Structure 1
Amino acid sequence: MFHFQIFVPFSSLQIIGMAVLLSLACPLSANPAKGSSSEEERKSVTDKANGKATENAQAIENIAVTARRPYYHETLTKIFPLYQYVQQNLTEPTTVNDVLVQSPVVSLNGQGGQIQNISIRGFSRWRIQTLINGVPIISDRRAGSSTGFLPPRFISNISVIPGAASTYLGSGAMGGAVNISLSEPNGHQFQAGLLNNAATQEIAYSGHNINTDWKLSYRHASNAEDANNNVLYDQFEQTALFVRHQFEKTPITEAWSLYSQNSNVGKSSSDFPEDRVTTYPQNTHWLGKVSANLGAITSNVWWHQSQLDTDTLRPEQRLNESRSRAFDYGGDMGSKVRLANWNINWQAQIQGRNGVRIDERELAFNSQAAPNQYNYSEETYSVGPLDASEFALAGVFDASRTVGAFSLAVGARFDWQRQSTTDQNAGDRSIANSNMSGFAGGSYSITPHWRASIYVSSAFRNPSLTERFYSGETPRGTVIGDAELNTEKSLNVQGVVSYANKTVTASAEAFHQSIKQYIERIATNDNLLQYVNLNRAQIDGISYSAKWAPDTSLLSLKLSGALLQGEDSTGSPISDIPPNNHRLDIVYDLGRVRAFSSLLYRASKISAADGERSLRSTLSLDVGVSWEVNENVTAKVSANNLTNQLFYVSADDRAAFARGRNLNFYLSVLL
């Protein structure tokens, strides 16, 4: 049954109420304010040799992009390339992760299912930041935040910032960040999709009226199967709604809100079904943002309310129930000025977390229960292992300039944070952290086609509320937090060489990141896990990307890949370092008909860290064909894992196998 659960704290209601009242006080405008597309985005709809993609076709593909880039985008692109990824030449994505893994430095991490996580250059969990239209998604799960609650139909493109990004985004961006941009429809559009493996069904509708646009999506999936026809526990049901309004002639420029309710979400794990069955009965998110332009100053207020329920069943032993909830909020204000040929940005930021609470109880197996009675009814214990809050203030500035063929950029962040907890046994406790991070980079245009750059940045990560204050039961066992954990500090160095002409664009990156006080969760004895600071860890690697797309050719090719290694101060491998990977994307565009394929190679992984397994190499193939039937109708047929390969989704020692061959059918109608 579809229902809403509201649990907003009073202080949070004040923040939201102010934003809503400001929005209601502003008159509606007559025309939406639209931005211009970037050069890379325009290339996706440029004329081909055998025809031209129409504007309606762009809308049908749902990849329309409005150029609302974060303020730091202009500065960073002066010193190294930033990449954006769209869905146009992909088989039908089941999650946002399917779009993200087009990046050579992004890999799947942890166990499978709808809320699976990613890593960027070997950084994962709380070390990478995920944003939706600039709103950070924060999770109290050790696995980190997941965007599985966001329907892929809602997105237009995803920007990836590899490397330390703490200067702009704070503690959670030590290893990089991704920003998901939500699309803006050009008309009323109906979309339907069907996947045969897991019997996934999807219906979506988007539309607009003057300055207001909206999206609705309903998705339902049964359990899929791997290549050996074994059942994978990755079922889910999802309902999502997004509404946005753009203003004119008022200080408020835009307000939007997204609600997503996910139920009966299965965690795809190798423990299923004999040893452990983990289900997320409810995974609910409500987030939004209000943006304003006060003369030369821009400002944003955002919020994110979340609730995650977890049931971990150990058959004929016990059932552990966990209820996690939090309300995150924040705001910023900033401006840009020009001083002595320098472009300067400054921003003041505020961010907080209220009502971060986890409640747990355990039910014992009752072997004497009657056949029609619930077998797990005897409560063993009921506790609240986490009741905490967080508040942070930060000031950020950057400066950049270009002199001839040389571009230079520098930036710094000053950050203060307070974390507090209420413990029934130990009483109240607060811990304050002050940190500073910065970056400096430069790029030089060697020739009109060649460019070289270097980027040095520092980063920090304060321990999460879970790492500091949580002690309780998880699907992996009993976990003990440590309030005395030290803040992680890191130094990132990367060099980039890039080339571009009318036919070829290519880049190669080499990077090194060293981390002090690296926080890891280790096993102290059977079924007992504790967070500790390691002395040091480092990650090194290279990545590359090359695209061949002549204007006179119907064929385009893209080759990309990454090679990484990571170890601690003893030389032992650290967790979450993905195997080396390479990817070949091929597109053949006939105008109304476009064929595409992706050949994915993942190398073997021999040196596994604690909690991981070794992996053998694998080669998989995705293929698809898109047909623009007319200006209003587009159909797509595609297949994932066409050769039905059997491989684990990640090196996690409890990861399940990937889905076997999956046929996808998609239809879009512009009404």
Structure 2
Amino acid sequence: MNFNSSVLLRAYSFLALSCVLVPSSTAQTAPQVERVTVTAERPYYHETLSRIFTQYDYDQENLVSPTHLNDLLTQSPLISLNGQGGQLQNISIRGFSRWRIQSLIDGVPILSDRRAGASVDFIPPSFISSVAVIPGAASTYLGSGAIGGAVNLRIKEALAHQLQVGWSSNQSGQDYSYTDFHRNTDWKVAYRNAGNGKDAHGMTLFDQYEQAALFVRHRPEEGMLKEAWSLYSDSQDIGKSSSDFPQNKITTYPTNRHWLGKLNFAFDNVVANDSGSVVTGNLWWHQSQLDSNTLRPGDRINQSNTKALNFGADIGSKAKLAQWQMNWQLQLNGRENVVIDERELTLAEQLVYRVQSLAADELALAGVVDTSRRINNVALAAGVRLDWLRQENKGQHSTNTNISGFAGANYALTPHWSANLYISSAFRNPTLTERFFSGETPRGTVRGDASLATEQAINLQGALAYNSRQLSGDISVFYQRIDNYIERLSLNKDVLQYANLDRATVKGVNYQLSWQPSDSHFNLALSGAWVKGIDEAGNTVADIPANTQRIDLKYQFDVMRVFATLQYRADKTRLAAGERKLEKAYIVNAGASWQLTEHTVFSTSIRNVTDELYYVSADDQAAFAQGRSVQFTLTMSL
């Protein structure tokens, strides 16, 4: 296997070969209207999954910039903050986090070699319209990284020539963005910066950052190429908000740079027939660089430089077999030149050592088929994936083949009530870091294990849903068992080793309810989740969030909208290694938005209204959350 061949040649060869092999198929999924009133195409798996359980989207209607994308994500009761604070903080979905959940930007997977997982906060929130949450094992569609679920962030459409200016009191944060378009090309540019914030007791948090980003999208009127977009983001001097700051460790990320994009194609005449077949394909790439600098006062300085090129291609279509609607897709995903260079310096900045702790590549091929239909009041769906992966690092290599699948049914009990059941299998291959890395991190020396086994999971979930003109909601129960669960274990005080545990189980309940009285401008939403995770010995596994309940209130006047949220986070006393006890917390946010003129909107909000002191997560090195903060945003259509 030659891992040094051209990325584009691989991708185009894959598409060309697939076009030769494809059978006759039907038209692509029809576009649907988003909440921002812009027609946008859904991912290819949305149509099938929406037949058997409710799909949830969350927008920024109750948020005021400047903010973080995590504020958008945590509107879902399934999502909690995880790990340490700051701009690179990650999330968990129903107790799964790090490399067990997949984050996507308009279908482009965001991968990272940090154990904390991939953060999407390198994208300015002003670029994003909404997020779709996929709960539970989604390996059939998204592969190894989605054993615990996924989130897909959608890039906002350009509706006007728009300038947005924002300010935040806690970090003295500034946010500037401009959106424009000409015919079938649109672009966005943004600049953001913030100093260190303060917690509710006035103590300094190390969560500073500076960020600039540019996005360009083009939709040709003719030809096979339907859409092309590219996004570049450069963040500097990002502080890692940790309870170790500043006495024990000061971790800064001097550079967090990303360049990604996607090309979308439609091949109308792959097979000469009268079926109107459309075969679609995508090419995507994501090049990233993350530098870290960890100062250990009175001791030493550790620095690392991480670079990677991720790329992929897919081709697929739809077909009909009797009464069954079918989708198929062939996928190629790769990572090249995944390199981590480290060095240690004395406090006088004299070099102690320099080492390359990772120099790896990987290539994955997969085929996916799903099918769905409706029989009277019952909707049925099923799918299967065959996946092959090869990983390589300095002469070491590993090859894995996995199969995953799902089956589900939704039964319409009455015009308003429905019940659904969903069962799926999933897998997670060890990452390059878990398998091959050996080096220094902010938490100490970490060693990989080339012999790690692939995680295998069974996911079962059921839900009861109600939907009427004024009231909608559902309650879901879920159970997921993971064999060969990979965790980082402590060998001694300063050395950690990745290892397989026998088994872990995560289970829980979540609900969502939305009520809007007829002919009323008032809306009330309730949501919450209870999650529990244990290993085979009955010990709590890492990253299980505290139970949460949330109330969202919203009222629309003629030219003004007011909103408020109250979140109750219960205490957490069942802890895994590397976690701390959490006290219960009540978190209140409120805001309002005024339509000053036809082209001008002014918004304001207060985060953490009661100035509550609470940790951002159960991570034993997590810092407190920011104290009270006031935001102002002015949006002008030019």
Shorter-chain TM-score: what band?
A: over 0.9
Tell me the number of residue pairs that the alignment of Structure 1 and Structure 2 aligns: 613
Give the residue type in structure 2 aligned to 1:333: I
Report how far residue 91 of structure 1 moved. 3.8
Q: Write the distance in 1 (CA, Å) between the matches of 2:252 and 2:178.
A: 29
SS in structure 2 of the partner of residue 78 of structure 1? helix
Counterpart for residue 303 of structure 2: 321
TM-score for the superposition, normalised by structure 1: 0.90
Aligned pair 1:567/2:549, yes or no?
A: no
What are the Cα deviations for residues 125-158 of structure 1, in whole angstroms up to 9, with x where unaligned? Answer: 0000000010000000000000010100000110
Conservation of the 8 A alpha-carbon contact between 2:66 and 2:174: no
Work out whether 1:488 is the aligned partner of 2:455.
yes
Do the aligned partners of 2:66 and 2:166 also contact (CA within 8 Å) in 1?
no
User: What letter is aligned with 1:203?
Assistant: Y
- Is contact 1:35–1:66 with CA below 8 Å preserved after alignment? no
Q: CA deviation at 1:322?
A: 0.2
Q: Mapping of 1:459-498 within 5 angstroms? A: 459-498=426-465
1:96 and 2:76 aligned: no
In structure 2, the partner of 1:437 is 404
2:618 is aligned with 1:636: no
Report the CA distance between 1:587 and its aligned residue.
0.2
1:168 is aligned to 2:163:
no
Instruction: Select the residue among 116, 132, 144 that pairs with 1:143.
Output: 116
Q: TM-score by structure 2 length?
A: 0.94
Mapping of 1:323-402 within 5 angstroms? 323-365=305-347, 375=348, 377-402=349-374
Q: Is 1:217 the counterpart of 2:199 in the alignment?
A: no
Equivalent residues of 2:32, 2:41 under 8 A apart:
no
- Local SS of the residue matching 1:75: helix
Q: CA RMSD in A?
A: 1.6
CA–CA distance in structure 2, aligned partners of residues 485 and 553 of structure 1 = 57
Measure how far apart 1:16 and its partner are. 9.2
What percentage of aligned pairs have identical amino acids?
52
Match of 1:615 in 2: 582
- Determine if contact 2:489/2:496 at 8 Å carries over to the other structure: yes
Distance 1:315 1:442 in 2: 58
**Alpha-carbon separation, structure 1, partners of 2:614 and 2:460:** 33
Offset at 1:93? Answer: 5.4
CA distance, structure 2, for counterparts of residue 298 and residue 169 of structure 1: 17
Q: Does 1:454 align with 2:421?
A: yes
Secondary structure of the 1:629 match is strand
In the alignment, which residue of structure 2 is the partner of 1:298? Answer: 280
- 1:212-248 CA-partner distances (Å, limit 9, x unpaired): 0000000000000000000000000000000000012
Residues 1:509 and 2:487 aligned together = no
Q: How many angstroms apart in 2 are the aligned matches of 1:486 and 1:35?
A: 41
Deviation at 1:35, TM superposition (A): 8.2
Q: For 2:198 and 2:392, how far apart are their aligned partners in 1? A: 44
Do the aligned partners of 2:64 and 2:632 also contact (CA within 8 Å) in 1? no
State how far apart, in whole Å, the 2-side matches of 1:66 and 1:139 are.
Answer: 31
Q: How far, CA to CA, are the matches of 1:86 and 1:306 in structure 2?
A: 27
- In the other structure, the counterpart of 2:381 is 409
Amino acid at match of 2:351: E
| 13 and 439 in structure 1: CA distance in 2 versus 1, 3 angstrom threshold | closer
1:450 deviation in Å? 0.1
2:306 and 2:339 in contact (8 A); partners too:
yes
- In the TM superposition, what whole-angstrom CA distance separates every residue of 1:51-72 from its partner, at most 9, and x where no partner exists? xxxxxxxxxxxx4543210010
Give the deviation of 1:36 after TM superposition.
Answer: 5.7
Mapped contact 2:87–2:238 kept (Cα < 8 A): yes
Matched with 2:466 is 499
Q: Distance in 2 between matches of 1:292 and 1:398?
A: 21
Deviations 1:557-579 (A, max 9, x none): 00000000000000000000000
Q: Is the 8 A contact 1:506 1:546 kept in 2?
A: yes
Confirm whether residue 650 of structure 1 aligns to residue 623 of structure 2: no
| 1:95 Cα offset (Å) | 1.4
Output the amino acid matched with 1:398. D
Structure 2: gaps of 5 or more residues: 15-28, 269-277
Amino acid at match of 1:403: I
2:484–2:503 CA contact under 8 A, matched in 1: yes
Q: Give the corresponding residue for 1:307.
A: 289
Shift of residue 11, structure 1, vs aligned partner? 2.2
Check conservation: 1:65, 1:157, Cα contact below 8 A. Answer: no
Query: 1:591: Cα distance to partner?
Result: 2.9
Partner of 2:19: none
Q: Is the 8 A contact 2:66 2:175 kept in 1?
A: no
> By how many angstroms is 1:94 displaced?
1.7
Mapping of residues 582-621 of structure 1, within 5 Å: 582-621=549-588
SS in 1 for 2:6: helix
Equivalent residue, structure 1, for 2:168: 195
Match of 2:255 among 254, 273, 282: 282
